[in-house]
């Protein structure tokens, strides 16, 4: 039922060129009572959020049990999830094209993507932690918390790129994911920054003697 | 395994910077060369070329796809490039940075509609070899080892912009203004775009391997259209070694002659009977077997030779036509070596040079058997160098030579130098096709 409400919401927006003004209107086209609606969602905002969140959670669930996915490196995991997520967005491309335009200013957009952000973090943070424990990526204490943010921003960037992409079969988006995720993971992984810190620590310890 | 490149230049600007970097470095090398020369006159030009080649190679090797392909193209045209360039570029024919496993799977899924893991019994996500516009993965199905060639996404789009960036570098290397080179670039561009169409490649592969199946000692992989698409090409995995490794194992001259004969027959059959040739004779496309057989792969680059061009270009290889002045005039004008507006001195000079070159190149056809030696190749180089000194060739007032000759020449230079690498002595009878050409010109 939840999914039905969400897909009706998307349809309504596309048909009317604006979001339903109230729950009543959406329920009308769903032929559902408002009481029933509130069993699933507390407000229209929550429905809107679910459009993206549901898709992300589907992707995450699909891979959670996948043995092969489990054996991937963290970079491969991120790439795979990006590919799968963007693929699943195809079904609602016209809705997203409209939605991203409908968000008049950056703050609207940030608000609109908040739900996706939390869902993304809920999936990716544990993955990064595991990778950090196994030594695949360095533990940079406080700074490590930024990794998930960086990856989230990357996902938003990829979505923007994809919405503007006019190449056949969105080939350029695939290339964009490949390159941007790898670049972000280069920052997340062991790199010059760690050596810089290590060197800094060494110098400070030297002075303390 | 091939090392994963740390960072791939992404934006067009960044890629352009890379090439400009090469340009600047070449300048630097020349400065170094002249500085060193003033101090030590023994400092050779060869060393300068080597430095330049290394810098260009470094820049190009970080580019993917079409730029790499241009490097290959230039590297094959040995006659136009000093040896040092060629050696470095030959490297670029073997490896390019690979795609990540997830992208490979993704590209396969999108293009074929199923995951490679479900299609094959086993699929290696690590690439085995990089082709210039894609990469090759090993797979297994029903006990058969397969080669799965997968194309980089979006490669078609970037070809044109890549070419635009390679142009200035190439122009600098050839010393020709961009406008003059336009039609040649167009030819290369067309061929490169064709190469991104694996559906076309599949068709051609099947066609050519069928047509050439009777040629002894040449064999082709079987292709699997049911798992292939415009971005994915599946064929049998062929065993065998690249020329260099093959030679390192010191095969007997008899075996070397046998592979050389096979290749020679294969190319002449394609050219003179099919009027279409496998125009990518770089070492990676031939798999040599210890018993003297050769597997041929990669029909992405096939030059269809227009009949009209065929009957005006190859007659020059036949001595009795070459000695017929009125026909030669007609031929040279038709293939754009000479123009009606040329002064008589220029005409005479160019004709002489060109005929000398063709008589050198046609030497193998003039006897029953021919021994391809390095001295023969060096002679061709020397002749090329000599022709290059002619003012009209060095600083041309207009482009000369048909664009169709580009891939044909490149192919035959490739074959000649492979023959020399094999030190081959083979049957080179030409009566199968020279008669046809003589007949054609008899009544004209």
Return the number of other C-beta atoms located less than 10 Å from residue B262's C-beta: 22
Candidate from B6, B10, B107 with C-beta closest to A174: B107
CB contact under 8 A, B107 and A79: no
Angstrom distance (rounded) from CA A42 to CA A37 = 8
High-pLDDT (> 70) share of chain A, %:
99
Query: Can you give the residue ranges of every domain in chain A?
Result: 1-42, 48-208
Question: DSSP letters of A21-79?
Answer: SSHHHHHHHHT--HHHHHHH-SSHHHHHHHHHHHHHHHHHHHHHT-HHHHTS-HHHHHH
Q: Using a CB-CB distance cutoff of 8 angstroms, which residues of chain A are in contact with residue B10?
A: 179, 183
CB contact under 8 A, B153 and A80: no
pLDDT for position A15: 92
Nearest CA in chain A to B158: A172
Q: What is the pLDDT of residues A134-143, one digit of tens each?
A: 888 888 777 7
Helices and strands: H and E segment counts in chain A: 11, 0
Dihedral angle computed from the Cα positions of residues A98, A99, A102 and A108, in that order, rounded to the nearest 10 degrees: -160
Nearest CA in chain A to B102: A80
Per the rule left: phi > 0, alpha: psi between -120 and 50, beta: everything else, B423 is left
CB contact under 8 A, A83 and B6: no
pLDDT for position B403: 83
Angstrom distance (rounded) from CA B198 to CA B443 = 43
CB contact under 8 A, B106 and A83: yes
Handedness of CA A116, A121, A122, A128 (dihedral sign): positive
Candidate from A76, A172, A177 with C-beta closest to B101: A76
CA B347 to chain centre: 30
Asked whether B208 and B270 are in contact (CB, 8 A), the reply is yes
Nearest CA in chain B to A167: B154
**DSSP H helical segments within B304-373, as ranges?**
307-313, 319-322, 325-334, 344-361
Asked whether B150 and B108 are in contact (CB, 8 A), the reply is yes
Handedness of CA A84, A85, A86, A90 (dihedral sign): positive
The answer to whether residue B59 is domain-embedded is no
Candidate from A80, A167, A179 with C-beta closest to B10: A179
Q: Between B443 and A146, whose confidence is greater?
A: A146
pLDDT for position B171: 63
The answer to whether residue B324 is domain-embedded is yes
Per-residue pLDDT of chain B (444 residues; tens, 9 = 90+): 344 444 434 444 444 444 444 444 444 444 444 444 444 444 455 555 555 555 555 554 444 445 555 555 554 443 444 444 444 444 444 334 578 889 999 999 999 999 999 999 999 988 777 766 788 899 999 999 999 999 888 777 767 666 676 666 666 555 566 676 677 778 877 888 888 889 999 999 999 999 999 999 999 999 999 999 989 999 999 989 988 889 999 999 999 999 999 999 999 999 999 999 988 777 778 999 999 999 998 888 899 999 999 999 998 888 888 888 888 888 988 888 888 888 888 888 888 888 888 888 888 888 889 999 989 988 887 887 787 777 777 666 677 778 888 788 878 878 888 899 899 999 988 777 888 888 888 877
Q: Is B122 on the interface with A (CB under 8 A)?
A: no
* Among the ranges given (A12-21, A183-192, B105-114), the one the predictor scored with the smallest mean pLDDT: A183-192
- Which has the closest alpha carbon to B220: B193, B202, B200? B202
Q: Using a CB-CB distance cutoff of 8 angstroms, which residues of chain A are in contact with residue B154?
A: 167, 171-172, 174-175
Q: Using a CB-CB distance cutoff of 8 angstroms, which residues of chain A are in contact with residue B103?
A: 79, 83, 174, 177-178
Range of the domain at B423: 240-444
CB contact under 8 A, A174 and B100: no
pLDDT for position A94: 94
The answer to whether residue B35 is domain-embedded is no
CA atoms within 13 A on the CB side of A26: 28
The answer to whether residue B37 is domain-embedded is no
- Could you tell me which residues come within 8 angstroms of residue A40 by beta carbon, excluding any fewer than 6 positions away? A1, A2, A5
DSSP-derived secondary structure letter, B430: -
A111-117: long-range contacts, CB 8 A cutoff, minimum separation 24: A112/A48, A112/A49, A113/A52, A113/A156, A114/A49, A115/A49, A115/A50, A115/A52, A115/A53, A116/A49, A116/A52, A116/A53, A116/A56, A116/A155, A117/A152
Asked whether A79 and B103 are in contact (CB, 8 A), the reply is yes
Q: What is the rounded average pLDDT of the residues A170-184?
A: 91
Q: Using a CB-CB distance cutoff of 8 angstroms, which residues of chain A are in contact with residue B100?
A: 75-76, 79, 178, 182
Candidate from A76, A175, A183 with C-beta closest to B154: A175
Q: Which residue has the tokens 């029953």?
A: B368
Token output for B392? 């009209």
Candidate from B7, B99, B117 with C-beta closest to A178: B99
The answer to whether residue B409 is domain-embedded is yes
Mutate: best of B14, B103, B105, B120, partner A, most A CBs <10 A: B103
The answer to whether residue B178 is domain-embedded is no
Q: Is B135 on the interface with A (CB under 8 A)?
A: no
Q: Using a CB-CB distance cutoff of 8 angstroms, which residues of chain A are in contact with residue B152?
A: 175
The β-bridge partners of B144 are: B141
Token output for B147? 């080669």
**Could you tell me the CA-to-CA distances from B425 to B67, B369, B413 in Å, in that order?**
36, 7, 17
Angstrom distance (rounded) from CA B301 to CA A27 = 60
Q: What is the pLDDT of residues A69-105, one digit of tens each?
A: 888 899 999 999 999 999 999 999 999 999 998 888 8
Q: Using a CB-CB distance cutoff of 8 angstroms, which residues of chain A are in contact with residue B157?
A: 167, 171-172
Candidate from A75, A83, A167 with C-beta closest to B157: A167
Angstrom distance (rounded) from CA B298 to CA B278 = 8
- Within 162-191 of A, beta carbons closer than 8 Å to B belong to 167, 169, 171-172, 174-175, 177-179, 182-183, 186
The answer to whether residue B434 is domain-embedded is yes
> Å from A106 to nearest chain B CA?
25
Tell me chain B's radius of gyration from C-alpha atoms. 23
The β-bridge partners of B286 are: B296
CB contact under 8 A, B100 and A75: yes
Nearest CA in chain A to B105: A80
Mutate: best of B5, B11, B63, B102, partner A, most A CBs <10 A: B102
Candidate from A68, A72, A174 with C-beta closest to B103: A174
Q: Using a CB-CB distance cutoff of 8 angstroms, which residues of chain B are in contact with residue A178?
A: 99-100, 103, 153
Q: Is B106 on the interface with A (CB under 8 A)?
A: yes
The answer to whether residue B161 is domain-embedded is no
**DSSP H helical segments within B150-197, as ranges?**
155-174, 178-195
**DSSP H helical segments within A103-144, as ranges?**
106-133
Angstrom distance (rounded) from CA A125 to CA A127 = 5
CB contact under 8 A, B117 and A68: yes
pLDDT for position B177: 65
Examine the pLDDT at A149 and tell me if it is beyond 80: yes
What percent of chain A is helix, strand and coil (3-state, nearest 5)?
A: 85, 0, 15
Q: Using a CB-CB distance cutoff of 8 angstroms, which residues of chain B are in contact with residue A76?
A: 100-102
Asked whether A57 and A27 are in contact (CB, 8 A), the reply is no
| Number of independent structural domains in chain B | 1
């Amino acid at each position: 039922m939840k999914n039905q409400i969400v897909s009706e919401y998307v349809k309504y927006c596309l048909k009317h060129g604006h979001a339903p003004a109230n729950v009543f209107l959406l329920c009308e086209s769903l032929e559902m009572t408002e009481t029933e609606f509130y069993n699933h969602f507390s407000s229209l905002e929550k429905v809107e959020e679910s459009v993206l969140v549901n898709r992300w959670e589907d992707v995450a669930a699909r891979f959670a049990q996948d043995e092969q996915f489990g054996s991937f490196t963290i970079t491969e995991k991120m790439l795979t999830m990006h590919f799968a997520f963007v693929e699943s967005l195809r079904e609602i491309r016209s809705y997203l094209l409209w939605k991203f335009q409908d968000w008049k200013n950056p703050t609207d957009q940030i608000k609109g993507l908040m739900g996706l952000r939390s869902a993304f973090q809920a999936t990716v943070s544990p993955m990064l932690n595991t990778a950090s424990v196994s030594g695949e990526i360095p533990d940079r204490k406080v700074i490590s918390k930024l990794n998930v943010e960086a990856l989230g921003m990357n996902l938003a960037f990829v979505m923007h790129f994809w919405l503007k992409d006019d190449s056949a079969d969105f080939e350029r988006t695939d290339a964009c994911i490949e390159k941007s995720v790898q670049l972000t993971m280069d920052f997340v992984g062991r790199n010059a920054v760690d050596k810089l810190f290590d060197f800094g620590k060494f110098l400070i310890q030297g002075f303390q003697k | 395994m091939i090392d994963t490149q740390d960072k791939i230049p992404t934006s067009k600007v960044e890629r352009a910077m890379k090439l400009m970097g090469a340009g600047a470095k070449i300048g630097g090398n020349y400065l170094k060369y002249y500085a060193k020369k003033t101090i030590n006159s023994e400092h050779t030009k060869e060393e300068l070329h080597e430095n330049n080649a290394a810098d260009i190679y470094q820049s190009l090797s970080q580019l993917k796809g079409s730029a790499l392909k241009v490097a290959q193209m230039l590297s094959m045209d040995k006659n136009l490039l000093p040896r040092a360039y060629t050696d470095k570029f030959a490297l670029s024919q073997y490896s390019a940075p690979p795609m990540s496993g997830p992208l490979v799977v993704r590209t396969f899924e999108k293009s074929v509609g199923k995951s490679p893991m479900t299609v094959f019994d086993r699929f290696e996500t690590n690439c085995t070899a990089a082709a210039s516009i894609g990469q090759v993965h090993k797979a297994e199905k029903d006990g058969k080892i397969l080669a799965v060639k997968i194309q980089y996404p979006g490669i078609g789009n970037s070809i044109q912009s890549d070419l635009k960036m390679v142009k200035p570098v190439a122009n600098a290397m050839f010393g020709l203004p961009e406008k003059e080179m336009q039609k040649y670039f167009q030819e290369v561009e067309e061929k490169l775009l064709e190469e991104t169409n694996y559906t076309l490649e599949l068709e051609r592969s099947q066609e050519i391997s069928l047509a050439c199946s009777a040629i002894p000692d040449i064999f082709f992989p079987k292709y699997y259209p049911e798992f292939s698409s415009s971005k994915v090409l599946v064929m049998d995995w062929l065993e065998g070694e690249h020329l260099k490794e093959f030679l390192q194992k010191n095969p007997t001259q008899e075996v070397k002659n046998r592979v050389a004969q096979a290749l020679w027959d294969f190319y002449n059959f394609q050219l003179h009977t099919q009027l279409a040739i496998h125009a990518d004779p770089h070492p990676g496309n031939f798999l040599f077997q210890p018993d003297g057989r050769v597997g041929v792969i990669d029909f992405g680059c096939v030059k269809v030779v227009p009949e009209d061009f065929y009957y005006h270009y190859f007659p020059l290889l036949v001595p009795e036509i070459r000695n017929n002045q009125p026909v030669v005039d007609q031929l040279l004008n038709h293939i754009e070596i000479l123009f009606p507006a040329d002064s008589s001195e220029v005409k005479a000079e160019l004709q002489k040079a060109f005929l000398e070159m063709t008589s050198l190149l046609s030497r193998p056809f003039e006897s029953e058997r021919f021994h391809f030696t390095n001295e023969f190749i060096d002679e061709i180089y020397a002749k090329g160098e000599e022709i290059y000194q002619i003012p009209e060739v060095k600083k041309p007032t207009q482009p000369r030579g048909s664009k169709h000759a580009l891939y044909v020449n490149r192919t035959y230079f490739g074959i000649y130098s492979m023959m020399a690498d094999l030190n081959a002595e083979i049957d080179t009878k030409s009566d199968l096709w020279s008669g046809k050409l003589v007949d054609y010109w008899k009544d004209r």
